Structure 1
């Protein structure tokens, strides 16, 4: 066993760092392994032992390469790894997240106000114990480098050992490949280092010029307006419209011409979910999204947001909440109700007959659900007020979340009230969430689990429609997807387009 000496040979130092990295940061990794294989069988024992050895040797090997090239750079990177590992493992343990590429996208796109809501003393404790304290030793220790001859022998023998171990486990490759995304998202520090690289590589591809869709034609001059409300983290099972035992939809349930449909999100995180709502089909390509397409084809488009994560929006009237707040009155101005400020007047002031309004809300985003609605909407009590969701009882957590659905119900009813007053327009409101939310089921919280293993709470979403009298009727729709939005909006606004798909339209 190594003692914490101030002078260490490079091989002893990297083995020590690999062991500490393993002990501090890989409990979630091996918890997943034990839960997903028959660990009492010979094959299971073989996989576990091999993964332990492979992780220790691979990390030591990479650390050895870095420190052999530059001790200064090596110390800087190792300190960075330990500090980020500590924060990452806190979120893995507290919220059950997996640090895959989509989660990296969530982290890099998170606003300061949202990120600050995750602050807690437990997070600081993780950072100090597992990040800062080891970093002090890393800075102080003097590392004795190997000669180039010994360096070449060490890396050659290590590579041979790694390859031999990998081929010895050839029979287990299928299990590892099946679970590779989750295993990779829990292996520190490679979960975030590799996935950050993948994220930026894919972002570079996305930032290429968007592919324009074929030109569209407005078929008539009939005044029509669609309000598309994009929900945030709203799961259908907590809406009383969908049979939930608490009355979380006291207003919508009393409004005529309100319909709800079962729907599945295309992803469990915001950027992909919002893109799917705005795309005309399921694709990884950056095609022209709904607001850009309609704006280019002479439709009035207004985007109002208290959220983030949408693809690039190229329209004239893109309005963030801080732009709307100065003209807002009342307690709701600090919440998503601000998005309704002067909306009716803005519609009436339009010189165009076809109008699309997009309201991108953030009402049910965790972890601080109790701060997402005004105090008068705390219909159910007691609520969870802790950022560390695991510290709350499941009942308190769900109650706080339920209150966000009550507030969503109010916002949607206000949208409908405004549209009812626009007698000259045929109007509809579509409410579709970007994804669902976990509230402690299977010890998971919030969202972002890969779709291949995600629980239904993270992808079963509400799809709620209101239509004005004498405007349209709805088909007998069964299960919908987010891709139904694009074609349904085109149909309601009487937009003729070569890419229109009648099967994806919800209106008769």
Structure 2
């Protein structure tokens, strides 16, 4: 029988256990369905997730209730009510409470939301929400001294950190499944994702720092195709001296140049931002497509990826926009970005055109899923999302096949540009960041630049030009910011922000 008076430590532990039992069946159903729970690593992960779930909720409640009982009771009661509703929708509609779902919820009108009302929902709210709230309201919580508070908090935090680092071997699995796990963990799913929704909404609506107005200096028909690669590291391109022939098509192209380059960061959002801005900074300067579009250049953005700064142009096309006009098996891969590309260029009424293709070809951990079967030239390949379970050869082979596929896509773009009679054209390919493939026991990317290995920031910078008279400077190592100024030069867009020292063309 529950007591009318209880110490704060026992109370928050009791509430954490109650939330664990009432609201986390979908979470652990997903965990058990997606991990080998008969092996040591699986057992360790499951136990650790259970303990972390209990401790994280108890720790958060402990901090809140130590600061204010009234606020604590209000928030805890609110959590139980919202948890009940969230679990109802998860169990009934098999949804994930992620950021996009929060966006859908916040943009739902009354008529739509009322259609979800049911007797079962009432039962969920009554049993899982209202009944616990009655106890929360009535119980008297006994506080502890600040010395005891600091000791308990420190020990809880230390134990959670130990659990995190004890699962270093499982970080890849957690990273791969983070969206699902985060969308099923209560109350973190809706609290964190609601915060992220409003943060990202603010960022999208935040006013860019506009650059000075520009002018187009001539009427020569010119087109730039900027291909932003994903997780492509230069070390696995045969153009850069790699032992395997991963660039059989590009290596045969005339007027093709490649440069050593480094990325500004080891993750997509910062890498893409750096490619599109005139300088590497923490400010939100007007990015290249927005700037050129505002100054009367035809701009088209096509993407199978995400993570770019806000793009304010007319022709922004995602995979789902391009697939209806695409035919063949390549439509399920990054080839979809080439659908009707030549026709779209020829249909433009403007003389200056920028096409941005944002690919996802080499993003892990499912490298073997990023290319059509006919590009599986290097075998055997890693087919597991748990990269540590694959041999180094299998992992490298799967990744190398993505580079081989990238070679094909870039070659097709060049072939399309060659047929544009009357246009001066160029293709620029640069990756957002590199990728670790087991070197130093590191996988994928995202390490802080101060600690990151070269595999995560040495990226390809490949340029093709249609006219052999168009020479490129003999640069040594480029940065991603070279893209902005080189595109301005090629399209002959004159602006005070242009930096000749950052231009790759003579």
The offset of 1:384, in angstroms, is 1.2
What is the match of residue 157 of structure 1? 147
Q: Of 435, 456, 462, which aligns to 1:458?
A: 456
Equivalence map 1:283-294=2 (5 Å): 283-294=281-292
Report if aligned partners of 1:305, 1:361 keep a CA contact under 8 Å in 2: yes
Q: Give yes or no for contact 1:432–1:464 (8 Å, CA) kept in 2.
A: yes
CA contact (8 A) 1:328 1:341 kept: yes
Equivalent residues of 2:290, 2:312 under 8 A apart? yes
- For 1:326 and 1:144, locate their aligned partners in 2 and report how far apart those are by CA, in whole Å: 56
Following superposition, the deviation at residue 494 of structure 1 comes to 0.7
Secondary structure of 1:204's counterpart equals: helix
User: For residues 352 and 428 of structure 1, what CA distance do their matches in structure 2 show?
Assistant: 17
Is 1:13–1:143's contact at 8 Å kept on the other side of the alignment? Answer: no
Residue-by-residue CA offset, 1:109-129 (whole Å, 9 max, x unaligned): 89xxxxxxxxxxxxxxxxxxx
Secondary structure of the equivalent of 2:400? Answer: helix
Q: Distance in 1 between matches of 2:195 and 2:452?
A: 24
How far residue 147 of structure 1 moved from its aligned partner, in angstroms, is 5.1
Structure-1 residue corresponding to 2:53: none
Change (3 A) 1:397 1:251: same
| 1:385-464 mapped onto 2 (5 Å cutoff) | 385-464=383-462
Matched, 1:65 2:63: no
Aligned residues: 407
Q: Partners of 1:229 and 1:289 in 2: how far apart?
A: 15
**2:245 alignment partner in structure 1:** 247
What's the C-alpha RMSD, in Å, of the aligned pairs? 4.2
Q: Which moved more, 1:10-19 or 1:275-284?
A: 10-19
Determine if the alignment matches structure 1 residue 208 to structure 2 residue 206: yes
Show structure 2 runs of 5+ residues with no match: 21-43, 50-55, 87-97, 102-127, 156-174, 176-181
Q: Do 1:206 and 1:285's aligned partners in 2 also have CA atoms closer than 8 Å?
A: no
Q: Aligned match of 1:483 in 460, 481, 505? A: 481
Local SS of the residue matching 2:486: helix
Aligned-pair distance for 1:219? 0.8
Q: Distance in 2 between matches of 1:14 and 1:475?
A: 65
**Cα gap change, 1:212/1:306 in structure 2, threshold over 3 Å: closer, same or farther?**
same
Contact kept, 8 Å, 1:438 with 1:458, in 2: the verdict is yes
Distance 2:194 2:443 in 1: 23
- Given that residues 109 and 308 in structure 1 are in contact (C-alpha distance below 8 angstroms), is that contact kept between their aligned partners in structure 2? no
- Other structure's SS at 1:339 match: helix
Matched with 1:122 is: none
Identify the residue that residue 172 of structure 1 maps to in structure 2: none
Structure 1 residue 439: deviation in Å? Answer: 1.8
Cα distance change of structure 1 residues 198 and 334 upon mapping to structure 2, 3 Å threshold = closer
2-structure distance, mates of 1:25, 1:143: 29
Give yes or no for contact 1:10–1:143 (8 Å, CA) kept in 2: no
* Aligned-pair CA distance for 1:78: 13
Match of 2:347 in 1: 349
Structure 2 CA distance for aligned equivalents of residues 453 and 74 of structure 1: 43
CA–CA distance in structure 2, aligned partners of residues 423 and 56 of structure 1: 64
Cα offset, 1:274, TM superposition? 1.0
Distance across 2 between alignment mates of 1:249 and 1:341 = 22
CA shift in 2, pair 1:450/1:17, >3 Å: farther
Q: Is the 8 A contact 2:209 2:284 kept in 1?
A: yes
Report the 3-state secondary structure (helix = DSSP H, G, I; strand = E; otherwise coil) of the residue aligned with 1:70: helix
CA contact (8 A) 1:268 1:451 kept: yes
Distance 2:311 2:498 in 1: 21
Matched-pair contact (CA < 8 Å) for 1:226–1:489? yes
TM superposition shift of 1:281: 1.1
1:445 deviates by: 2.2
Q: Matched residues in 2 for 1:238 and 1:338: separation? A: 24
The question of whether the paired residues in 2 share the 8 Å contact of 1:212 and 1:287 is answered with: yes
Whole-angstrom distance in 2 between the partners of 1:506 and 1:202:
34
Question: Residues of 2 paired with 1:71 and 1:315: CA distance?
Answer: 45
Counterparts of 2:80 and 2:371 in 1: how far apart (Å)?
42
Alignment partner, residue 304 of structure 2: 306
Match of 1:275 in 2: 273
Distance verdict in 2 for CA 1:402–1:12, change over 3 Å: same
What is the CA-CA distance between 1:61 and the residue it aligns to? 3.9
1:199 shift after superposition = 9.0
- CA deviation string 1:125-151 (max 9, x = no partner): xxxxxxxxxx9xxx89x8899856x42
Q: Secondary structure at 1:416's aligned position in 2?
A: helix
Match of 2:497 among 478, 483, 499: 499
Does 2:216 correspond to 1:218? yes
Residue 374 of structure 1 deviates from its aligned partner by 0.7
CA displacement at 1:164 relative to structure 2: 11
**Residue equivalent to 1:359:** 357
Q: What residue in structure 2 maps to residue 259 of structure 1?
A: 257
Give the whole-Å Cα distance in 2 for the aligned partners of 1:196 and 1:244: 45
Q: Measured at CA, do residues 199 and 432 of structure 1 come closer, stay the same or move farther in structure 2, by a change above 3 Å?
A: farther
Seen in structure 2, the aligned counterparts of structure 1 residues 9 and 484 have a Cα distance that, compared at 3 Å, is: same
| Partner deviation per Cα, 1:161-211 (whole Å, 9 max, x = no partner) | 69999xxxxxxxxxxxxxxxxxxx9xx999998999689558635632222
